[in-house]
Amino acid sequence: MLEDLASVMFDEEALKEKCRGLGQQIAKDYEGKDLLVVGILKGSVMFFADLTRNIGIPLHIDFMVASSYGNGTETSGKVNIKKDLSVDIKGRHVLLVEDIIDSGITMSQLKVELAKREPASLKLCALLSKPSRRKVDVDIDYCGYEVPDEFLVGYGLDYAENYRNLPVIGVLKREIYS
């Protein structure tokens, strides 16, 4: 089934190793700090779960839902926040976890909004970065992989809410979304 949909870019083992390495670095950097890890849903769910299991220090979690894509393959340019944080972040160390930074629009707007809430620090961890598509510069403090301008699915990434459950990240065949 997978070969009919996409060609594999990152297999399960590569994703597991990347989460382990990022988790170890984050644990080292936040040792002794009040860490709140915020998953940006829905896309980050698989990465978020695997990453947080690899951060070997006490932490708290929360989630936000924000998107600028809807059901398309291109950003609309307008960020829609559907679910906000359920905790106060003032004075806390906040790490945002995102599946992919593409245009940068969603994350740059979220970072501006959250900075107004006076966290002790605000950093970003993204599994994937697609710098060729940037419309807004975004600093990624912890980045898994830089990827080319391809439409990726799996491991939380979707096309019109499909394919999130694939255990790998693959390049979606153009005929599926054209």
DSSP string, 7-58: EEEE-HHHHHHHHHHHHHHHHHHHTTS-EEEEEEETTTHHHHHHHHHT--S-
Cα separation, 173 vs 6, whole angstroms: 5
Amino acid at 53: R
Report residue 85 as tokens.
Answer: 């944080």
29 catalytic residue (yes or no): no
Point out the catalytic residue in the list 50, 99, 102, 158. 102
- Matching residue, tokens 């915020």: 38
- Name the residues annotated as catalytic: 102
